[in-house]
Homo-oligomer: A and B are copies of this chain.
Amino acid sequence: MAAATASNALSPFADAPINASLTAEDKIEILRKMVRIRLFETTSLREYQGGNMGGFLHLYIGQESVAVGSISLLGKNDHVITAYRDHAHALAVGMGMNECMAELFGKATGCSKGKGGSMHYFAPDKNYWGGHGIVGGQTPLGAGLAYALKYQGKKGCCLCYLGDGAINQGAFHESLNLAELWDLPVVYIIENNGYSMGTSQKRSSAHPEEGLAARAEGYGMAWDKFDGTSVYEVRAGVQKAVERAHEESRPSLLEIMTYRYEGHSVADANKEKYRTKDEIQKQKNEKDPIEFWKATLADEGIITEEDVKTINKEARKEANAAAEFAHNSPYPEPSAILEDVYWEVDNNTPAGRSGRHFFYP
């Protein structure tokens, strides 16, 4: 099977300048990132089932190439914002497994001090602006991050991810118009995994033959649609949009075809009802982005079975250590409830001391 997919991998995309410029180390790092993400999530799933977390857990397993491939293109003035399926983007921008796992456990050592949970990861120091639970709600924020870059004269862009179901939120359309009207350097990336919860694209979105991203045409906005299995293809496709943002300060709408293996969230009891076991298995066999990338690198003679084993072993070790770290971390004190609500209060400024800010207890 590996062989089969490997040959597909010898695609024109490998020769795209942005890919040709990758060193062997770069390519192995990309593999490592994807493997780390997957093991972080399988571990978080295990811990969720072990009763160590509350709320939701939306897994990205099967989609890793999209976040890792696109974020691998970014530089110091480029920013990232996404929805609630946000673990992969967090690790891709460089957040550590420890603070991410601890956040799932609701521990004080979590990236959001246990306040945000799975859907609400943030790391502004890594240009990562969340982690947003309201479908489509992040799309105006993405335009805003781009607006700020342009306002401050910085050459950068914002990658704003959303799901295929999120395209039916009005705020997204308002954002598209603003982005095109004001030439904002934002790249909207529809991670099209075919379903919004249990609803297939067909049952939720009216669109032309060409696909969901074609909605960009109504705004005269550049758009593209491509498969997400190969990191090369993802990088080649997203790079065009990043350049458009950097060089012309113009927005783009991209649709990347991908697939999630798990349910919408861990609580999804119907994950094999609204789609068949076979459909899922077929994806795993033929389009798994990690297997595909492994085969590609093997093909290129960059990695051996050994290397892969080592990468897996290290990643598993790291993920287990993160779970350990989360287990051993303390929960926040109740006093933390009234912290991080107002900047002025947290910083004990005169404004923060003027008048009553909290009305219970």
Contact = CB atoms under 8 A, between A and B. Distances in A.
Contacts of A177: 168, 205-206
Interface in A166-209: 168-174, 176-177, 180-181, 203-209
Contact of A205 (B168, B181, B216): B181
Contacts of A220: 206-209
Contacts of A208: 217-220
B181 A174 contact: no
Interface in A226-279: none
A273 B168 CA distance: 38
A100 to B, nearest CB: 32
A215 interface: yes
A214 interface: yes
Interface in A139-183: 168-174, 176-177, 180-181
A68 interface: no
B215 A218 contact: yes
Contacts of A172: 170
A220 to B, nearest CB: 5
Q: Is the interface of A mostly helix, strand, loop or mixed?
A: helix
A218 B220 CA distance: 11
Contacts of A203: 181
Contacts of A171: 170
Contacts of A170: 169-174
Nearest to A207: B220
A37 interface: no
Given A218-B215, A218-B218, A181 B204 contact: yes
Given A168-B177, A170-B174, A214 B218 contact: yes
Chain B CB within 10 Å, residue with most, of A173, A174, A215, A219:
A173
A58 B73 CA distance: 51
Contacts of A102: none
A97 interface: no
Nearest to A179: B206
A351 to B, nearest CB: 34
B180 A174 contact: no
A169 to B, nearest CB: 7
Contact of A174 (B169, B176, B215, B218): B169
B217 A217 contact: yes
Nearest to A208: B220
A119 interface: no
A221 interface: yes
Interface of A: 168-174, 176-177, 180-181, 203-209, 214-221
Closest 5 CB pairs of A and B: A170-B170, A215-B218, A180-B206, A173-B173, A206-B219
Given A168-B174, A214-B218, 12 more contacts: A170-B170, A170-B171, A177-B206, A181-B203, A181-B204, A206-B219, A207-B218, A207-B219, A208-B220, A215-B218, A217-B217, A218-B218
20 contacts: A168-B174, A168-B177, A169-B170, A169-B174, A170-B173, A173-B173, A176-B206, A177-B206, A181-B206, A206-B219, A207-B219, A207-B220, A208-B218, A208-B219, A209-B220, A215-B218, A215-B219, A216-B218, A217-B218, A218-B218
